[in-house]
């Protein structure tokens, strides 16, 4: 519901720092009990001021000139207020004053911040990441229209209440491509992007107050699903006469044994296939998302999958695999999962989790090596993928049990040999 603000203009005189019987005329702008004063540059005798009527007494030409000026100022201030009101409901008396003096043209708004961010941060962001920022910006503009009935917003107006309101808006949002409302983490991701853009505004000295000072991002830790060895084997053994499903199965299995993300697999070409130090074929490329380089040897069925598509008619130019959209991949994967009687919600990204958990970490590959293969910038990112499986715990603890048993056995033998005395 749109709230109405109270607005008023009054004129008064001030004798501060004057002892000659004269006073300066000021205008006072009041909006919702907030007020600001502005000097009108006129000085008059104190006795000529009508406090009740807020005008200069008398019919002298000078008095009429001042009173006409006061009426013009009042009319222009009201006009400034109406123009501001048509753009945004959150108006301060300072905004009215700035507009009156033409000082509001340099005010940076959210849309200007978006333009600045997308221009100057694009070289540090992947195409997909920049797309996520543009989605956040789209939601912010929709929030402005719904909550504030305006198309833009001054950065100087951003406060804690604005951020909390945006969070509430996101939690009630039903995006077109979602089956329901945004998840907690989905909403928090959008707020993180807004926070980053606002921090850029602070660094550029466009705003003084940081609206996220008392706001805490609340991310929920969720276990990422992956395929165990039995489920992965089911998909590897899956046979079908439908070509699109065969392609999807092969791409998914390839990702399970390499950990390479969808966009990077689609970009793989013949130059990325190199001979490693062991004389075997390796994949050498960069992650599109982070631009981090990574290399890994091909193992399992990966090389035979590449050879299978060497002369495939749907393969583009020098790419290793046929082009297929991520959306279709995920849709066809559900068909494969149903046919294999796998009840998990399979997405193509799950292959990366399967590589990190089932293929590497559970088989003793150090997490630092896995992090390098996955092309992560920080080890903490890899730890999201890492899970310690029950059988790995059992193997590790069994090994520890054997070591401890040997040590205690040796200690007991020494004790029996020398007795309990230290002499």
- Check: CB of residue 333 under 8 Å from CB of residue 231: no
**Position with higher pLDDT, 33 vs 254:** 254
* Contact criterion met (CB below 8 Å) for 135 and 180: no
Confidence class for position 84, pLDDT limits 50, 70, 90: confident
CB 320 within 8 A of CB 306: yes
* Phi, psi values for residue 29, rounded to 5°: -100, 125
> Which of the 8 DSSP states describes residue 109?
B
Give tens-digit pLDDT for 15-24. 887 788 899 9
Q: What are 309-337's pLDDT values in tens digits?
A: 998 988 887 899 999 999 999 999 999 99
Give the Å distances, CA to CA, from 372 to 292, 381, 382, 392: 9, 11, 9, 22
**pLDDT tens-digit profile of 163-189?**
999 999 999 988 766 557 888 999 999
Per-residue pLDDT, averaged over 113-135, amounts to 88
pLDDT of residue 423: 38
Q: What is the pLDDT of residues 92-115, one digit of tens each?
A: 888 888 888 876 655 788 999 999
Q: What is the pTM of this model?
A: 0.58
Whether residue 253 contacts residue 340, with contact meaning beta carbons closer than 8 Å, is answered with no
Could you confirm whether domain 229-387 is CATH 1.10.443.10?
yes
């Amino acid at each position: 519901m749109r709230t109405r603000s109270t607005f008023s203009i009054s004129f008064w005189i001030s004798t501060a720092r004057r002892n000659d019987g004269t006073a300066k005329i000021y205008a006072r702008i009041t909006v919702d009990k907030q007020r600001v004063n502005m000097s009108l540059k006129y000085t008059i005798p104190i006795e000529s001021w009508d406090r009740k009527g807020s005008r200069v007494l008398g019919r002298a030409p000078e008095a009429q000139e001042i009173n006409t000026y006061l009426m013009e100022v009042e009319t222009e201030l009201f006009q400034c207020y109406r123009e501001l009101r048509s753009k945004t409901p959150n108006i301060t008396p300072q905004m009215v004053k700035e507009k009156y003096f033409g000082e509001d043209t340099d005010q940076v708004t959210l849309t200007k911040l978006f333009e600045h961010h997308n221009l100057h941060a694009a070289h540090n962001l992947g195409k997909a990441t920049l797309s996520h920022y543009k989605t956040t910006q789209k939601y912010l503009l929709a929030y402005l229209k719904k909550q504030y009935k305006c198309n833009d917003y001054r950065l100087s107006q951003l406060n804690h209440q604005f951020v909390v309101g945006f969070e509430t808006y996101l939690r009630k949002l039903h995006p077109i491509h979602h089956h329901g409302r945004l998840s907690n983490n989905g909403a928090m991701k959008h707020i993180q992007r807004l926070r980053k853009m606002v921090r850029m505004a602070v660094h550029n000295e466009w705003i003084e107050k940081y609206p996220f000072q008392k706001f805490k991002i609340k991310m929920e830790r969720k276990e990422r699903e992956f395929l165990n060895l039995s489920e992965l084997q089911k998909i590897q053994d899956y046979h079908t006469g439908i070509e699109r499903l065969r392609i999807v199965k092969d791409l998914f299995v390839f990702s399970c044994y390499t950990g390479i993300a969808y966009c990077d697999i689609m970009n793989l070409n013949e130059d990325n296939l190199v001979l490693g130090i062991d004389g075997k074929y390796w994949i050498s490329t960069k992650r599109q998302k982070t631009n981090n380089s990574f290399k890994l040897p091909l193992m399992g069925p990966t090389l035979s999958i590449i050879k299978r598509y060497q002369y495939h008619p749907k393969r583009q130019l020098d790419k290793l695999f046929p082009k297929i959209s991520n959306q279709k991949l995920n849709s066809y994967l559900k068909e494969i999962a149903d046919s294999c009687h796998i009840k998990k919600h399979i997405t193509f990204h799950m292959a990366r989790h399967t590589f990190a958990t089932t293929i590497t970490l559970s088989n003793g590959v150090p997490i630092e090596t896995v992090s390098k293969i996955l092309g992560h910038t920080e080890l903490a990112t890899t730890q999201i993928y890492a899970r310690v499986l029950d059988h790995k715990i059992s193997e590790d603890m069994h090994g520890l049990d054997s070591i401890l048993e040997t040590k205690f056995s040796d200690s007991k033998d020494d004790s029996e040999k020398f007795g309990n005395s230290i002499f």
